[in-house]
Amino acid sequence: MGRTSMKRLSLALFALIPLACAPRIQGAPLPKAIVSSPCSKAPTIDGVLGADEWKEAPALKFDMPLIRFSPNGIETRPCELRVMNSANALYVALRVPDKTVDNSVSPLVADGAMLAFGSGPQIAPGDDRKAIAGPVYRDKHVKPAGKGEDDDAKQDGQGMLGRESGMCVFEWAVPLNSGDKQDLQAKPGDTIRFNLAYFDAFQIPITKTVIGSIHGAPLDRGDAWGTLQLASNVKDDGGSAFQGPSWVKPLFEGLKSSPASRLHFVDAPLTPGSTSSKALLSFTYRDEHGAEKEGKAKLYLPESVRTDPKAKRPLFFASGYEMADGMDQIYSRLGWIVSSPRELPTNPLLRTINPDSALLHMVRALPFVDDTRVIIGGGSAGGYMTLMQAAETFPLAGAIPDVPPVNWGYNAAYFYKQFDKAGPQQGSKDAKLPFLFAVATLLKGCQNVYGADYDEATWFAHSPLAHVPTITCPVSIYWSTADMLVPINQVGARWVQPFDATKFPEGFTMDPKSLMTSRDGRLTLLDVLPSSDYEVFTHKVPAGTSLVGAAGPHAVFELPMSADKLWSIGIVDEGAPEPNLGHRKYNLNLNRAGFIERAAAGKVPARQLTLVKLERLMDRYAGKEWLPTRLKHLDFPDSERADVLRGLRTYTAAGAENAGTFSALYGQLPAVKRVLEPEVVKELESGKSR
């Protein structure tokens, strides 16, 4: 569950609690005034109430009143509450009987709880909320209007839902004073106003949800809540509950084989609101001049890695740009590991593919990564990076580039031969083509990397078009007809829509023939991609879909995949380009659930290895530049060889047909290209690679 769905969930919960908590029924109530127990050692916030970690906090047993909407009814459940605090943190645990496991986000059916603090009898903007919904924790606060909630910009605290013997177990760790004005601000000995609400199978429609609170009081009525007196004679416990998971670091210790051994563990910070744990890593790579540099990366690890670190799991590699926390959840929820570069010094197009390719070599060699199930993906320059990495690495379960430039020389000429036209004109501070001007300004340093002549061979050599024959994995890709940053002219002339020239600077063009003089500079994807290798799917934007940047309905597309073609090309018909656009004109959500499901099957088809692909692999193994220009792109020699062998072993071990294909193709190579050791060839031909 990402930020948006969690926000919608908690807003809905806030609105419905007054209904749920109105009933008054007989039962053993929780005392209105609770005294927190002193805590000397922080518990582990994992949804498991260890006997030793909570021994300082006796269980307060009570009956929680709950309301059911369909059929209408009131019930109680015997619950247990534990509360303790140190000098720096408050710890709360709640056990609620619940025999059903509700942990789905699609459709939404999730057990949850919300810990609420009040600054006074009336709910006030900024009052603290700590929410748990299924596997997700979020630090929230009451919105300025005093109704509803929003996420804190700074996520503090920790929370986890666990299950044991027919019980839901919620644990929270709350800083007494995090420094965030939207958090609890307290000190030992203070008395604070609080409440705790519980939701059994929250879902839409709400009629199937059971809701209650520990004080039988709504969350919008602070005067009906209870109070909590914090223990005063306590010491700082060291804050271990707010530190990252301890099981992550050992995963990266003892990695002795190249290239994985070049990954160095840095930290495993908490990731509130996430179903995954995050590992921050550093690594070395060679830049485009061959100099050794340090790069940074992060891995998102699903909870299953903790419980079974020896099992192999699929990997999604985010190419080009750093993935924001939370964006990994589409894969993490499915049990995938997600890798991303981080703290990048420049744009992907400026730094070339070197750090991304080196990182991909390393992470797919990790012992808990399933090398048969690796997808790479990215958007714009990250989509470009995806295609270039697909041309280099082998094998891949799939590549999913969004709106990538494929003829880099043409796209650069489009930017810089019209740069002055795109910017502010005399007497104005506003750029005529705002997104184009901003991106071109960001990428101006590319001229220092590739040269000032966009028709020169270096630009085309660094274009995906030059490497189409070596992209042998399934590709799900799309472009928009209205894109102002990556003109669709470089994809195919059939989708070019004439724009209104009166809205653009005089002489502005997207025509490759007007911008480029070389044959290569004028090539399109469909000029080089065999018709037998692709299928095109055109998407019309539904009427009523809102424009990018405006509120309103989003259109949702599932990008189709071809049943038998290597490339599934999506063309989103958004009309003609307009001056104020970036990549898209409309608010669209484009999904690839079917493509991801197929990739998760872990099948490596024999056709992924071709003669030209094998030649590329052999060049890499021999230390010969596969992208021969004045720039350098090979990883360290031992890593290149290890990555090539890793890929070939994965491929040939997938079946007799694959092993036979390798043997036949290797025999067709020129003698100078047959660079593998005889024992390695024998191993690969046997199909019994380790």
Averaged pLDDT for residues 61-86: 91
Instruction: Work out the pLDDT band at 25, boundaries 50, 70, 90.
Output: very low
Instruction: Work out the pLDDT band at 205, boundaries 50, 70, 90.
Output: low
The most confident of 147-161, 420-434, 614-628, by mean pLDDT = 614-628
Instruction: Work out the pLDDT band at 240, boundaries 50, 70, 90.
Output: confident
In whole angstroms, give the CA distance from residue 148 to residue 392: 50
Q: Locate 527 and state its tokens.
A: 């000029």
Around Cβ 390, how many Cβ atoms within 10 Å? 24
Nearest alpha carbon to residue 9 among 184, 217, 211: 211
Q: Which of 222-226, 315-319, 520-524 has the lowest mean pLDDT?
A: 222-226
Question: What are the residue ranges spanned by the domains of the chain?
Answer: 3-241, 244-397, 406-599, 606-686
Instruction: Work out the pLDDT band at 27, boundaries 50, 70, 90.
Output: low
Secondary structure element (H or E) that encloses residue 114, with its range: strand 108-118
Q: What is the largest CA-CA distance in the chain?
A: 88
Instruction: Work out the pLDDT band at 184, boundaries 50, 70, 90.
Output: very high
Tokens 């740009």 appear where? 321
**Peptide bond preceding 314 in cis form (omega within 30 of 0):** no
* Cα torsion 140, 51, 241, 244: sign: negative
Averaged pLDDT for residues 618-642: 96
Residues contacting residue 522 through CB under 8 Å, at least 6 positions apart = 410, 512, 513, 516
In whole angstroms, give the CA distance from residue 559 to residue 389: 22
Q: Does residue 570 contact residue 559 with C-beta atoms inside 8 Å?
A: yes
Instruction: Work out the pLDDT band at 222, boundaries 50, 70, 90.
Output: confident
* E-strand stretches of 124-166: 128-133, 136-142, 149-151, 158-164
Give me the half-sphere count of Cα atoms (radius 13 Å) on the Cβ side of residue 536: 15
Tokens 């485009």 appear where? 288
Averaged pLDDT for residues 288-315: 94
Q: What is the 3-state secondary structure (H, E, C) of 231-289?
A: CCCCCCCCCHHHCCCCCCHHHHCCCCCCCHHHCEEEECCCCCCCCEEEEEEEEEEECCC
Instruction: Work out the pLDDT band at 185, boundaries 50, 70, 90.
Output: very high
pLDDT of 398: 97
pLDDT of 68: 83
pLDDT tens by residue, 125-136: 999 999 998 877
pLDDT of 122: 87
Q: Looking at the predicted structure, is the pLDDT value of residue 149 above 90?
A: no
pLDDT of 146: 63
pLDDT of 688: 82
Q: Which of 75-89, 264-278, 360-374, 416-430 has the lowest mean pLDDT?
A: 264-278
pLDDT of 101: 86
pLDDT tens by residue, 571-594: 999 999 999 999 999 999 999 999
pLDDT of 121: 87
Angle made by CA atoms 395, 398, 401, in degrees to the nearest 5: 125
pLDDT of 294: 95
Q: Locate 478 and state its tokens.
A: 């799309």
CATH 2.60.40.1190 matches 3-241: yes
In whole angstroms, give the CA distance from residue 43 to residue 56: 10
Averaged pLDDT for residues 346-371: 95
Averaged pLDDT for residues 199-222: 83
pTM of the model: 0.76
Start-to-end CA distance of the chain, whole Å, equals: 37
Q: Does residue 21 contact residue 197 with C-beta atoms inside 8 Å?
A: yes
Averaged pLDDT for residues 319-327: 89
DSSP 166-222: TEEEEEEEEESB-S-TTS-B--TT-EEEEEEEEEEEEESSGGG-EEEETTS--TT-G
Give the CA radius of gyration of the chain: 29
DSSP 56-84: TS--EEEEEEEEEETTEEEEEEEEEEEEE
pLDDT tens by residue, 80-138: 999 999 999 999 999 999 988 887 655 567 899 999 999 888 889 999 999 998 877 88
Residues contacting residue 301 through CB under 8 Å, at least 6 positions apart = 248, 251, 276, 277, 278, 279, 337
Q: Looking at the predicted structure, is the pLDDT value of residue 513 above 70?
A: yes
| DSSP structure class, residue 583 | S
In whole angstroms, give the CA distance from residue 36 to residue 84: 5
* E-strand stretches of 342-498: 369-379, 398-402, 475-480
pLDDT of 7: 40
What residues are paired with 417 via a beta bridge?
none
Nearest alpha carbon to residue 341 among 326, 319, 316: 319
| DSSP structure class, residue 38 | E
Q: Does residue 273 contact residue 138 with C-beta atoms inside 8 Å?
A: yes
Q: Looking at the predicted structure, is the pLDDT value of residue 71 above 80?
A: no
pLDDT of 372: 97
In whole angstroms, give the CA distance from residue 642 to residue 635: 11
pLDDT of 137: 84
The Cα-based distances of 673 to 33, 368, 622, 681 in angstroms read 80, 33, 8, 13
**Architecture per CATH, 244-397:** 3-Layer(aba) Sandwich (3.40)
Q: Which of 49-53, 221-225, 289-293, 343-347 has the lowest mean pLDDT?
A: 343-347
Q: If 0-12 CB within 10 Å is exposed, 13-18 middle and 19+ buried, where does residue 306 land?
A: middle
Residues contacting residue 570 through CB under 8 Å, at least 6 positions apart = 476, 477, 478, 479, 536, 537, 538, 539, 557, 559, 560, 590
Averaged pLDDT for residues 368-388: 97
Averaged pLDDT for residues 549-573: 93
pLDDT of 273: 61
pLDDT of 325: 83
Average of per-residue pLDDT values in the chain: 91
